[in-house]
Amino acid sequence: MLKTKLLHPEILRALGSAGHGSKVLIADGNYPFTTGSPVTATKVFLNLMPGIPKVTDVLEALASAIPIEAADVMVPDSYARPDIFAEFEALLEGVPLTEHSRFEFYDVVRSPETTLVIATAEQRRYANLLLTIGVVKLPDDNL
């Protein structure tokens, strides 16, 4: 039995085969999971029932398992900041959010660097989060 927060075997396998610069999409229930991501990306469907799990549940598990270097979000055309962004920022602990319009975000996600797409049942709109995996820093790392 694992002692980490993240226990899902398929997600762990996909993360284990990813590396620095690889991208992971945590998508809300409205995201076009298949057409809005590269065919080569592993797709994990966690969308059990409306609202379970939420994007923030998955983010909490992932943040405990991988270093996060960058985070991209989709903003509405009105550029009104969705409330969930504050939750993202709290869980990301200092990693800034890079904002993209809807179609720009789709283009960024479709890049070959996107290795994993996790479908959630999040019902809040614009709750899509694209994470870039960073490097593991060693205690004596001066870089």
Q: List the CATH number of the domain containing 26.
A: 3.40.1650.10
**What is the rounded distance in angstroms from the CA atom of residue 48 to the CA atom of residue 107?**
27
90 contacts 81 by C-beta, under 8 angstroms: no
pLDDT at residue 119 greater than cutoff 80: yes
Q: What is the DSSP letter of 52?
A: B
The pLDDT value given to residue 143 = 60
Residue 77 is assigned to a structural domain of this protein: yes
Residue 2 is assigned to a structural domain of this protein: no
Residue 140 is assigned to a structural domain of this protein: no
Residue 7 is assigned to a structural domain of this protein: no
**Average model confidence (pLDDT) across the chain:** 94
Residue 110 is assigned to a structural domain of this protein: yes
Residue 95 is assigned to a structural domain of this protein: yes
pLDDT digit string (tens) for 37-55? Answer: 999 999 999 999 999 999 9
> Can you give the C-alpha Rg of the chain in angstroms?
14
Q: What is the mean pLDDT of residues 3-9?
A: 89
Q: Which residues, 6 or more positions from 126, have their beta carbon under 8 angstroms from its beta carbon? A: 28, 73, 74, 75, 76, 82, 84
Q: pTM higher than 0.85, yes or no?
A: yes
Amino acid 11 reads: I
Residue 89 is assigned to a structural domain of this protein: yes
Residue numbers of the domain that contains 119: 22-133
Query: Could you give the number of structural domains in the chain?
Result: 1
pLDDT digit string (tens) for 57-73? Answer: 999 999 999 999 999 99
Which residue has 């939750």 as its token pair?
87
Q: What is the mean pLDDT of residues 100-127?
A: 97
Residue 17 is assigned to a structural domain of this protein: no
What's phi and psi for 82, nearest 5 deg? -60, 145
